[in-house]
Chains A and B, each alone.
Chain A
């Protein structure tokens, strides 16, 4: 038993934090929202993009625990780069791609030359990973995809899920042209229409999707922990400095108990993120893995709501203000609480396992 990051994990997270504090402050983030290429290049230089990939393709073979400290740092800084989208899509290529596909895609990802996304979500599917209506039909030596995918982060190359006569399958395709928009939390995304889009097939389907989504769920648990840590820290600071009735508002017991409960919720969430990330790397079977991931996501979804709501409330009117980072942490946590399944969805899954 050991809850420490190892030296490499800690050093990487520390240098990432230093970089984010210097170059990705809240003010700089506002300007960077339109995707300055220098951030991605820096991620590549630090090895973040290579970290989860196999050494055979220029990666470092890291697991979820290796990514955990990075995701926490991203959460604290509210990073809106398509990092997780790229990790998910490249993980699917690594698990379901041919040798040729892997050697085309993965080194480019590792070196920061290729951003990717996993185009999966469809209208009405909610959190049902099998609810895929997009269709893929064989045409000579390639496939044609027809259908729509929602809220896909902006990236030139995609892994797309689509239905064939054999069920849900995975494909590699270029992203069709689309009109980008900002999601609730500031990520750049678009709804995509696939109309006669040429694609190449990967050798995988629903099982690979479920595994990758569980992996990604563990990572966003860690990211949410980071965003909650920021929310707790900044609220504590506010309670110590904001004065009303001639005293810091942190001297009021009604507020003290509420921030203590935020602090406890954050610690409990961190515990469950540790469980989720370590189980993804070590679980003996899919059921074991799914149970831990769902348990973690239930706790993280509840804690994200609780902490973000209280952070805004304890900031008073300032918490509502667009100028304050705490309101952006609120937006990020609102998305993370529901991403890959909200508490209700994971309760149903946890209870059924």
Chain B
């Protein structure tokens, strides 16, 4: 047993850290540090800097622009990326649509979409949730009816993150209502400029416009935009669920937040506060080592991570929320400067983390069923 990274791994990490620090534009970093609103340009400019370096999609196969790094290097890089404090890389294209295309897409689909995702030329969003279908995703109702070489799509998606920035949306739609619910679902790619699509903002409690409702009213989608066979959408969705979940703990980003909270709570000597901060730091240490144990297992067995990696999402999001709670409590109650207001809003906003991407209750269901056999 040896908990240390090898000298080569440390060298790799230091190189990544140095490059990220040197190439993250200062203005962008400060914007993120102050928790300011990030525009589409802000998000894409960092994406494009990383793409130019060839580091935007490390996990992709080399022929499509991947780096060929091993799992440990990929993990280290992801954590350094989080720790560097740049805008988040929006996952919908890079780590959701692209892996699906790589696994199930035709050559034509790969050639058409992957380079544009890599370069940040297309902004993607995800059309999964519907008003009546949240955790019970397979009950979705948005319909796609085949008419010649097109599907005609009708229905509604909800909680669609950054749909108002998006050029494309990948959707789960029902292509057959007579079948058992999971078997009538297909995975389609829809151009957001297609007539019949309406986007309505949903303002969340922090006042931010991040998510939307997306309405489809007789939207024509070419059959060639379906990925995998008709009725295989659920297979695609499940594949995505098991893909690259090694970084859902967001340890690098939480380390950075912890440093910030430690820094601006220096003057709070209340032992109860110090204890809560220490306990959260211990939680983060435990999560990091647990994450490394999963990584070590993956490296040794060559197998994708098991269902039990769901615990990384559960603990990681609890820690992210805990940090915002400590930040809120550390704040001067009299403060109303921009940063303090942003911090308060962040406390509100981060409640989403235990709800999105499979709520933490669904993650517990997954471990219960798949790992514990209940």
User: What is the interface of chain A, defined by CB distance below 8 A to chain B?
Assistant: 1-6, 9, 65, 68, 236, 239-240, 250-251, 253, 256-257, 259-261, 263-264, 267-272, 274-275, 277-279, 282, 295, 298-299, 344, 347-348, 350-351
* Cβ-closest 10 pairs across A and B: A271-B289, A256-B368, A268-B286, A351-B278, A250-B374, A260-B364, A271-B290, A257-B364, A264-B311, A3-B296
CB contacts (< 8 Å) of B279 on chain A: these are 298, 347
Q: How far is the CB of A350 from chain B (nearest CB, A)?
A: 5
Q: Complex: how many Å from CA A250 to CA B293?
A: 28
Which of A2, A6, A348 is the most central at the interface, judged by chain B CB atoms within 10 Å of its CB? A2
Number of A-B contacts (CB under 8 A): 114
Question: Would you call A2 and B364 a contact (CB within 8 A)?
Answer: no
Interface contacts beyond A239-B374, A264-B367: sample of 7 additional A-B pairs, CB < 8 Å, sorted by A: A3-B296, A257-B361, A259-B368, A261-B364, A267-B311, A271-B293, A351-B274
B9 nearest CB neighbor, chain A only: A1
Question: Would you call B286 and A271 a contact (CB within 8 A)?
Answer: yes
Contact of A263 among B289, B297, B372 (CB under 8 A): B372
- Is B2 interfacial (CB 8 A cutoff)? yes
Question: Would you call A253 and B365 a contact (CB within 8 A)?
Answer: yes
Q: Complex: how many Å from CA A274 to CA B288?
A: 12
Q: Complex: how many Å from CA A4 to CA B296?
A: 9
A3-B315 contact, Cβ under 8 Å, with A347-B278, A351-B278 = no
- Is B148 interfacial (CB 8 A cutoff)? no
Question: Would you call A275 and B374 a contact (CB within 8 A)?
Answer: no
CB contacts (< 8 Å) of A250 on chain B: these are 374
Q: How far is the CB of B358 from chain A (nearest CB, A)?
A: 14
CB contacts (< 8 Å) of B274 on chain A: these are 351
CB contacts (< 8 Å) of B290 on chain A: these are 267-268, 271
Question: Would you call B368 and A65 a contact (CB within 8 A)?
Answer: no
User: What is the interface of chain B, defined by CB distance below 8 A to chain A?
Assistant: 1-6, 9, 72, 274-275, 277-279, 281-283, 285-287, 289-290, 292-293, 295-297, 300, 308, 311, 314-315, 361, 364-365, 367-368, 371-374
Contact of B285 among A9, A68, A275, A348 (CB under 8 A): A275
B361 nearest CB neighbor, chain A only: A257
CB contacts (< 8 Å) of A272 on chain B: these are 282, 285-286, 289
Contact of A2 among B2, B275, B368, B374 (CB under 8 A): B2
CB contacts (< 8 Å) of B311 on chain A: these are 263-264, 267
Contact of A347 among B5, B275, B292, B297 (CB under 8 A): B275
Q: Complex: how many Å from CA A270 to CA B311?
A: 14
Question: Would you call A278 and B2 a contact (CB within 8 A)?
Answer: yes
Q: Complex: how many Å from CA A3 to CA B277?
A: 28
A278 nearest CB neighbor, chain B only: B3
Q: Complex: how many Å from CA A271 to CA B6?
A: 19
Question: Would you call B368 and A351 a contact (CB within 8 A)?
Answer: no
Q: What are 23 A-B pairs with beta-carbon distances under 8 A?
A: A1-B5, A1-B292, A1-B295, A4-B296, A6-B1, A9-B1, A68-B1, A250-B374, A256-B365, A256-B372, A256-B374, A257-B364, A257-B365, A260-B367, A263-B371, A264-B314, A268-B290, A268-B315, A271-B290, A272-B285, A275-B289, A299-B282, A351-B278
CB contacts (< 8 Å) of B308 on chain A: these are 267
CB contacts (< 8 Å) of A261 on chain B: these are 364
Contact of A1 among B72, B283, B287, B372 (CB under 8 A): B72
Secondary structure of the B contact surface, majority rule:
helix
Question: Would you call A240 and B4 a contact (CB within 8 A)?
Answer: no
Question: Would you call A257 and B368 a contact (CB within 8 A)?
Answer: yes
Q: Complex: how many Å from CA A5 to CA B296?
A: 12
Q: How far is the CB of B367 from chain A (nearest CB, A)?
A: 5
Question: Would you call A2 and B296 a contact (CB within 8 A)?
Answer: yes
Q: Complex: how many Å from CA A6 to CA B372?
A: 27
CB contacts (< 8 Å) of B4 on chain A: these are 1, 282
CB contacts (< 8 Å) of B281 on chain A: these are 295, 350
CB contacts (< 8 Å) of B373 on chain A: these are 240
Q: How far is the CB of A240 from chain B (nearest CB, A)?
A: 7
Q: Complex: how many Å from CA A89 to CA B1?
A: 26
Q: Complex: how many Å from CA A299 to CA B315?
A: 13
Q: Complex: how many Å from CA A205 to CA B252?
A: 41
Question: Would you call B3 and A3 a contact (CB within 8 A)?
Answer: yes
Question: Would you call B371 and A4 a contact (CB within 8 A)?
Answer: no
Q: Complex: how many Å from CA A278 to CA B1?
A: 7
Q: How far is the CB of A217 from chain B (nearest CB, A)?
A: 14
A260-B3 contact, Cβ under 8 Å, with A271-B293, A272-B285, A298-B279 = no
Question: Would you call B361 and A275 a contact (CB within 8 A)?
Answer: no
Q: Complex: how many Å from CA A2 to CA B6?
A: 10
CB contacts (< 8 Å) of A298 on chain B: these are 278-279, 282
B371 nearest CB neighbor, chain A only: A263
CB contacts (< 8 Å) of A3 on chain B: these are 1, 3, 292-293, 296-297
Contact of A268 among B1, B3, B287 (CB under 8 A): B287
Q: How far is the CB of B235 from chain A (nearest CB, A)?
A: 26
CB contacts (< 8 Å) of A348 on chain B: these are 275
CB contacts (< 8 Å) of B361 on chain A: these are 257
CB contacts (< 8 Å) of A269 on chain B: these are 286
Contact of A295 among B282, B364, B365 (CB under 8 A): B282
CB contacts (< 8 Å) of A277 on chain B: these are 1
Q: Complex: how many Å from CA A239 to CA B286?
A: 27
A343 nearest CB neighbor, chain B only: B279
CB contacts (< 8 Å) of A239 on chain B: these are 374
